[in-house]
Structure 1
Amino acid sequence: MPAKDSGEKHAPSDCKDHDEQEAAKPKRLKTQRSDRKSLSDSEDDETEEEDAPSSASDAEDAEYSVDFGAITARLGGAASSHRRSVVSSFVPPPTEQWTPPVNLKSAQDAESIRRSVRRNLLFANIPEDTLQVLVDAMKYVAVDAGVDVVTQGDVGGDRFFILDSGVCDVRVHERVVGEVCATSPRNFFGELALLYDSPRAATVRARTSVECWSLDRVTFKRVLMATTMQQRALYLDFLGQVPIFSTLSSYEKMTVADALRVQFVEAGDTILTEGSRGDDFYIIADGEVKCTRGGEEVSARLGAGDFFGELALIHDDVRQATVTAMRKSKLLVLDRATFKRLLGPMQEHLRKRADLYELYMNAPRVTEQS
């Protein structure tokens, strides 16, 4: 039910006019409109009702049991489509107890959700196929003006929202302290409820009629947490195949695995530039790169299981070569601090790999470019 005009003035907004915004968007069938005064997080949540565990033991098992086979099938085998793929985001477990929900949406809506999710630091580095599962699980919700999408003080908040159209006010103790609008870079809210079991810190109330995409906590935790555990196992197995990590203890390998972040590059992308400063060490999970100095290739092409970028970190120096992706590649990246802490004692071992370093070490050093 629309709220009465309280005469409240709103701060200048970066949101474009709502009517103009609505006119520019394709009309969507309103299959799930809410005209209640408050939209409870737990209402209309078929996923959580259907999947509620029957006991504490079941809850513990359900928390980490994911139908990765169904995920991989839905993705059309994308996780293993590359010729030299070494690390895949999903590996089917032996049991299948839960399948992530799929809420149909247009390609345009899916891409809009994907862009919004990537802007959130919580989701910024998750693998692309995991992101696709989350996008598929997003549910469409339409809310009338005056309705609270989330309410301050509510406990058990379990939904993350992306605003697709309209404007919402953010209120703390009924005082407007901000706004969320569909056209702003930060058009999402409620993400912390996916991680922490704490009351909602603010009320988000629809100023206009709004359309949202929402993600439930169950899907997020089951997919993301299980993926994290599967990814750790895969990385540990992968690191065991990379010679320079062979001397690390199991604990050290686990530390490296947890510190790795994924970076995707396209054919022709420059990963490192000769003479520039750098803080990262790279392992190739899938793909191929070339190393050049002064425009000339200085080593054999590097592929899955090879690594680069360590020289600048060992010597606290600038990059000694330019590294370019020859095709779409998946890289595992380790930051300087972790590299120095774990791999610092292995510097002598790294230097002895003359087959990789001879052309670098015998040539004049590159100095920092201005």
Structure 2
Amino acid sequence: MEKKLEELKQQLQKQCMINQELQRQNKDLEQRLQEKERLLQELNGQYDELGVPSQSGNVVEPEIRKSRAAVIASEPLPETLEIRKRVKKVASETSLIVKAIQKNDFLSRLDDEQTAMMVDLLAVSSYKPNDDVIKEGTEGDSMYIVAAGELLVTQAGQTLRSLTTGDVFGELAILYNCRRTATVKAKTAVRLWCMERQTYRTIITNKSKKKREQLLGFLKTSRTLKELNDVQLSKIIDSMEEVKYQDKDVIVREGAEANAFYIILKGEVLVTKNVNGHQKQIRRMGKGEHFGEQALIREVLRTATCSAEGPVTCLSIDKEVFEETIPIEHLELFDDSKVLQEAEASEKSSPGSTLRFKDLVPVLYQEGRYQGDPVTLGVGGFGRVELVTTVNHEEYYAMKRVSKKHIVAKRQEEHMLFEKKILKATQCNFIVSLHAAFKDTRYIYMVMEFCVGGEIWTKLKEVGRFDEPIAMFCTACVVEAYAYLHKKNIMYRDLKPENLMLDIKGYVKLVDFGFSKEMVHGDKTYSFVGTPEYMAPEIIKNQGHDFAVDFWSLGVLIYELLVGSPPFSSSEPQKIYAKILDGVLKYPPYMSEAARSIISKMCRPRPGQRLGNTKNGIRDVRNHRWFSSMNWHKLRVGQLDAPTVRLIRKGPCYINFDRFPLDQTKAEEEFSGWDRDF
């Protein structure tokens, strides 16, 4: 018996030792797995940085956007620009530069004229081994193409890659003032082609303005179009497509159905007519001349054949697009007066503000890690928004506080003054109202209506994506805000979920007018401004933009509300711009056909063809089938039950906002006096 007990005891001890060994092995395996997982994440991060495409061919659902969108402020163009002396380039150098441009994600979208301009204006710079060309964290104003030599790219001390002949780097700097994300150091003696932002932007802008004026002049010589005003002619230009023909290509054929109008930009067109079975030459047409105008207003057959004599470039507009753009029966655009009468009837003039700065006190967090600190509702590139109340706690306000020194440094004085002017003059249920404005030696303050429901951005982040009734309601509120602003000749230019707030009833209000601009319909502006994911192609191309950019961004907004991320997104801005210029929209399977339709019509690359920017203006947006269940009158007078109400949480007045730590830094004083009239 004792012997058996001893054997059992030994077996148990042996089993215990085996179990201990297995546990040790498991722990070891777990550690090794964790280490592999960490290495895999590091490798993925490096792959992302190097821009290596995914090997998977599967369709993946768009990733939910987790961070706030960065914004780019408009930078004034210089009054006069000293352009460096043009550097003559031999054929091999020109070829190298053109190849470099063509293989670059962003620059490859430039047209032939812009590419030729780049080649012409690139200057040369030389660097010795170990010289820094770009330093991580500094602000950049030049792009570079490697002409000869080798450079190393490092980030936070880690080597990412090397650059050799024909490689392009720093190209974002020619669009806007951006912070460099890596250091580029010469490994050998290096020769670079370089261009500064102000040179690029001024030349592109001037070329675009000149081209537009020229096209306007061409259209004014048309007998059919001579009754149209500049606003309408400008719309036609925005709707025209550039088409190229090779030698002997037939552009229009005699006897065929007429469906397009053409303006010749480059080359010669031969006009011939069939006479007794032979083609008889009638005349030659050159730059600025046009043909096919009768096709726009009459059902006619072509009366002659027009063929390309050598390479030809034309601008063309087809009948269907023209009819969408210009109402033939009554030459009147943006006639929203009837639709807006009801909304205006309900507007009341706001009484003069009696708020005093000294009566405002900060609201403090009542619980959590920031308990006792002042409540911050939002933080942006241009300041903070804090929750304040009056001494007797009668009402809550959102107070925007911006450093005057920062405004001057970023040359945003005009934008800040204009934002105050707009908000002061605005009385619209879909735009946040301004109660008072103050200033001291360090800051300017704007005391605005407090929207208790928080940002649409925060709600979207919480739920991932909105169902269609919620997305449709939010968009309808923006449509009404747009109708109000556009009628007052104001472009908004910074639409995104971060700039949409929910009031207590769940209605959406537009906030932050720092990038808006007052403009006459038919004019163009050439500033590079907005949020990358929401920028229209004509802003990126510096072609001049107008109210059409607001409809492009509305299409992007609908997509992001329904999907959780914008249609054109990437961690790298130049890839975002490349995707926007490609204009390929990929819709997830759950999105309805009506939603796809309205998005694709708003995100048309040609501004004159966008829904909302054709002859019926914003009425076409309201009448789209995606809004078939919307009662616009009830929305305007606030009689609809907002489906967004279920997104608003109950609790302290700040519960629907992200929480931000207290900012204890104090801005420097600023005495230039730009805010004299603020």
TM-score (norm 1): 0.50
Higher Cα Rg: structure 1 or 2? 2
Q: RCO greater where, 1 or 2, for CA within 8 Å and sep 6 or more?
A: 1
